[in-house]
Structure 1
Amino acid sequence: MSIFTRGNGARRAVDKVDELRKEVRDLKRTHKEKDAFIDHLQRVTRAQADQINNLADERNRLAKSLDDTRIEVGAQQKKNKSLLEELRPHRAAEANANAIEVPPMQRDTSDGADQATEPTGIDVRTLREADAAGLLSPVVRISGSGASADPATVRIPTVREPAA
């Protein structure tokens, strides 16, 4: 044992030096970690900037390609339009040459249930058309009370015989 014993006071200089050395080590380690993280962020930032530049170059290349394609499509559409104009008379001539002609058909209306309509059979005009043609005649309605309608204002269609 030594005559000088180590004290146990909270304010010992040696303990304080040890604490400060530990704190310096921790700060250096933290500083190195932060430097490494900053380097990593800078590399990522550079990589992203390169990627952005590459994408911008690609976008510009695609825009130019799109413009060139639009020009080509426009020229092709003009050519197609002129070819269609040239083809129309040929199609019309072919359609006329290959036309199928069928004589007009006469429907058999000898069955009573299958009657022809105008101009040779049943009159199918609307009431307004029939009234305008003068085909409607006055109707007298006799009610249960003895009153009747004015025959000058009420008209009904007359039955017309089909033309033979």
Structure 2
Amino acid sequence: MTTLAIPGLRRAPRRHRAADRVTELQAENLRLRDALTQLRTERREALDAGGALRVDLADAERVAVCALDELQDRTVERDRLAEQNEGLRLRLAPYLAAEANAAAVTVPPAVRDTTAIEDQATAPVDVRDVRARFADGPVVSLRYSPLAADPAHIPAA
């Protein structure tokens, strides 16, 4: 028997049989059982890891308590030694002062010989602006200059 295809007319979708649905449900059931087995395995591993972490945490807490006790003991010892050190310093201070006074280096006050011409004190520096200095006379003060007698040293007015 031949069937003619009529354009625009589609065939109704095939009705699913109950046997096909049973096969699908069995496959889904098998997949869900595998997933459940995997989840149980992961849960067991997580519980085992949690137990190991609890043991590690208890060990770490014991170590921390011991370290805290040791720190407190060391702090008390440090404070006691600091007080003892300060007491010894106070007892030793007079001896150190006496030794420093006995070994002191004393130097008489220095007196500088200024008789040489190059050691003469200099005149105060004139800080007026340049125009005011030129208006008053020569730039170089003749009174303090060693070359005052030299006429080439005096600028022309």
The TM tier, using the shorter chain, reads 0.5 to 0.7
- Residue 73 of structure 2 aligns with an amino acid whose one-letter code is D
Partners of 1:11 and 1:17 in 2: CA distance: 9
- 1:73-152 pair list within 5 angstroms: 73-115=78-120
Q: Show CA shifts across 1:11-59 (max 9, x none).
A: 133x333322222221111100000111122222222333332222222
Deviation at 1:84, TM superposition (A): 0.8
- Count of paired positions: 111
Report the counterpart of residue 50 of structure 1 in structure 2.
Answer: 55
Partners of 1:77 and 1:114 in 2: CA distance: 56
- Residue 84 of structure 2 aligns with an amino acid whose one-letter code is K
Q: What TM-score does the superposition give when structure 1 sets the normalisation length?
A: 0.58
Identity %: 29
Deviation at 1:9, TM superposition (A): 5.8
Report the counterpart of residue 16 of structure 2 in structure 1.
Answer: 10
Partners of 1:36 and 1:29 in 2: CA distance: 11
- Judging by fraction of residues, say which structure has more helix: 2
Q: What TM-score does the superposition give when structure 2 sets the normalisation length?
A: 0.60
Q: Show CA shifts across 1:47-102 (max 9, x none).
A: 23333322222222211111111100000101110111121111111112212222
Determine helix, strand or coil for the equivalent of 2:114: coil
Determine helix, strand or coil for the equivalent of 1:89: helix
Determine helix, strand or coil for the equivalent of 1:102: coil
Report the counterpart of residue 129 of structure 2 in structure 1.
Answer: none
- 2:91 matches 1:67: no
Deviation at 1:115, TM superposition (A): 4.3
Q: Show CA shifts across 1:98-139 (max 9, x none).
A: 1222223221111345346xxxxx9xxxxxxxxxxxxxxxxx
CA RMSD of aligned residues (A): 2.6
